[in-house]
Structure formats: structure tokens, C-alpha cells
Structure 1
Amino acid sequence: MSKIVFITGASSGIGESIANYLHDKGYTVYGTSRNPKKGSTPFQMVALDVTDAASIKKAVTEVITAEGKIDVLINNAGKGITGPIEDTPTAAMKENFNTNFFGAIDVIKAVLPHMRTQKSGTIINTTSIAGYMGLPFRGIYSASKGALELVTEALSMEVKSFGITVVNVAPGDFATNIAAGRYHTPIFEDSAYKEKYAENLALMDAHVDSGADPRIMATAICKIIENKNPKIHYKVGGFMEKFSIVLKRILPDKVYEKLLMNHYKL
């Protein structure tokens, strides 16, 4: 029997690439989105809003009823957010955490009882290389992804005795439509950060537009699923993106901060 894979946020971008790739490899894939269009993908789609507990329960129940199990959960649904910390509405920050952090946890909570019963399962949380560092004008996004990184570590230890593996995959910039779906704090005319934020907003969007092929992420995810003893943390991105994490570990704080400020022209 092929493994049953459950992927949140599979209607576009990295999630869709992962779902298509695993489907082509022979996995039984269930992708999710808030408003799935039937027949629009070669894999099956179910409705799921990660910020709605009832929606999560319904989607998980639907797959369990149809297949009897979920072997792999890929927590991929996420939203971007940009803006100076001072200018960004707190409500927008909370909404971002509800999707990127609490949403992922609620899906995990819905799937775990089934994985414990079958005494096996793999949970893969998609975070971001941005979660390893506080990036200017992306601080809330960095924080939400960094928080999920730490929860992955804790959860891995908590569920290991049940035969469940928990893995984190942090991608760099990939060519997706994430920029279009981001919450962008407006560039306020009276903002102290007006010029620098405007410059960096254009830079962030350019990085996504010139990003790598999402199939690279899909290939990495497939290798993790097929690995009988995967690591806890994986980074998937360009050399400099991954090297930036190494630099953060070895350089003094102020030196690393200066490098980032130079990069972002601050």
C-alpha cells in the first residue's frame, strides 16, 4: 500500500509542487486549501482552513474515513507578513501567528491520535530560513517560523516513543506567489521608516521572483519521507542562504547584525 500523505496549503507554490511530485512518485496525496476546486489537480483536494478547528477536524476525519490512516503530515500552509514592528498592526501579527504557528499546531493535534494508534507516522513542518534570524521588516514572519522550529524540537522528543517522527524543513527563497499573498503593512507617509521600508519591500519581492524552482523543495521532502532515520532540521536553499545560518552561529552578535544591516542598506 502506498503511503497516505496529507499536505496543508497545497493549492499553489511549494505545497502544490510537493503534492504533484509525491503523487507522481506513487504516494496517495490529499492536498488542502480553504476553497479547493475539484478536478483542478491530479491529487485529491479537501477543504481546510488552518485557523478553524472545526475545519481541521472535518478534513482529517474525511481522509481517515477514506484511507484508514495518515502516514505523513506536511504542514505547509503559511502566510507572509512585512512591515516595521512599530507600524505593523498587532492584529495583523496575531493573524499571522494563527496561520503559521497555531494553525500548524492544531493540525498536528488533529493527526497525532491517529498516528499514535497506528504506532507510526511522520510530521514535516515547513518553516523558513528566515526563522533562524530576525530579519528587518520581516520580524514577525521570522518569529512565527522560528517558534515552529522550536516546537518541532520539543514535539520530536514527546512523540518518539509512539513511533512518530517529527522533522522541520526550512526553505529559502523559491519562485512562488507568496509575495502576492503577504500582508504588507502600508508605507505610511508619516512613518519614520518610510524610505527604508519601501526600498526593502521591493527587494523582498525581487528575491521571491528570482527564487529557485519549488521542485527542489519537493525532491527534498520526498527524500525525507523515504529516509528511515531523518534528521530533525533540514535547510533547503542557496549556498548563501544556508551559510547565513552558519555565520550567525560563529560570528559575534554585533558583527552579524552589521552584515544584515549592510545587506538591507540600513
Structure 2
Amino acid sequence: MAQPAAAAAAAIALRRPLLLSLKPARLLTSLAAPSPGIRHPRALRPTGPLPADTAEDTDDPDAGDGSAEPFKKSRNALKREARRAVQWGMDLAKFPPPQIKRILRAASLETEVFDALMLVKRFGPDVREGKRRQFNYIGRLLRNAQPELMDTLIQASKDGDDSKLHALLSEEKLLVEDEEVEELPDEEEDDGEYMKIADRWFDGLLCKDISITNEVYAIHNVEFDRQELRQLVRRVQMVEESTSKDDEEGSNGKLSRAKKPLLRFLRSLAKEACAE
């Protein structure tokens, strides 16, 4: 019995110097219970990412199922579509307004495209940067158009292929040239200032008032096609001169159709001039 007691006493004596040699901070650390929040290197981890982690890394609701990836267009494809739409706008701008309206109606495009094309047609040959920006804007408007239909309509118009146009257009769309060009937007009724200016220019140009003619053609803060303006004025004057030779009902219709583009041109010009 004496030997086991002596061995236990010797073990206690050896353990005391070891405890006393430890620093207080290290001693408390060694005696403290392990924190439950600390991850130990021996803990098991999944070999791959959790399904929830992959869904959180993207805002795409279809991410993870692989359904959206095949339909994503490349950057080069988007650039090609943008260039193609801009080229459509350049081709359309070469046609006269009635033909442009036929193409746009056949393609089910909004009147916003027609207004943008009419604006770029008024730019002079020296307005290069303005034309570039306007054609880029028109390209954005045309980007959702049907490519094959647009290519066919434009090519048929270039070739003068009326049979193909007849196949693409309905009977109502074929009568566009006999209709009035387009009713002026209703919102212009609220902008009385520039409308009064445009109406004054309209009457003065048709009456060949020298002071008003000089006033209009002397505008330099807004770029516009002066040659087109002369053609529009001359067209109305020619229709007015021929009214006595035609029947009254038909003459009134021709005169109304001739006045609409001129009034639209002058109102757009007056609006831009007042905004400057």
C-alpha cells in the first residue's frame, strides 16, 4: 500500500512545476472550454457548393436550371443587330414620306419611327454628327422589327416591285398614299406659342411674304433642310393653282394632303427654335 501512495505523490509533485511554468493567458486558454462557433479543421465539409449558394450568386430567376443560357446572345450578335437596324434607318430615310409610311405600317411599327425619320431627312448634308446620333436612335427603335420582313420591304421598295408589296400589305395599307399624311398630335394643342409662330410662317410662305420668308430661312440655331422646305411650299402653291381646274371635292382633298407635311415641318421647326 505504501508504494502506490508514494507513486501518486510523486506524480502530483511533477505536475505542479508544469502548471506553474505556464503563463496565465496560456493557462486560461488551455483550461477554457472550446467555443462552439469555431470551425475545426477536422469538421466535414461538402465537396461541392450547396444548391442555395448557386441561386444567391445571380439575379437571374432561371439560374441553376440551364434554361436561360442557350438563349443568351453574344456581344458580337448584339452589335450585328444594332448595325443592321441602323442600316434600315438609313435606307428608309432615302424613300419619300408616303413610301416610308407604307413600309412602317406593313412592319407594324409606331409613328415614333416615322417622326424620327422625318426629322433626320431635314438635316442638311453638313450635319454629320447630328445625323449619326439620330440614326443610332432610329436603330434602337427598329431593333425589335422582324428582320426578314424589313429586308423584304426595303428591297422591294428599292426595286419598285409592286407585286411583292401587294403581297405584304393589306388593302387598307395600300391606300396610305390616298389618305392624309398624318393627323398632327393632340398634345401640340397645349403649346400655343410655337403653334402660332408656325401658323404665321405657314401663311406668310404661301402668300410669298418677303419678310416672313427671310425670317424663316434666316434661322441658324436649328438645323433643317431648306431645300425640302422650298419643295413643300412649292407643292402647296402648285396644288392651289390647279384647284380651279379640278372638281371642288377632289381639289380640297389634294390641298389638304399637300398642306399637312408643310404644317408639320414648320411646327417642328418652330418648336425646336423656341426650345433653343
TM-score after normalising by structure 2: 0.21
Q: Which is strand-richer, 1 or 2?
A: 1
TM-score after normalising by structure 1: 0.22
Q: Which is helix-richer, 1 or 2?
A: 2
Higher relative contact order (CA closer than 8 Å, sequence separation 6+): 1
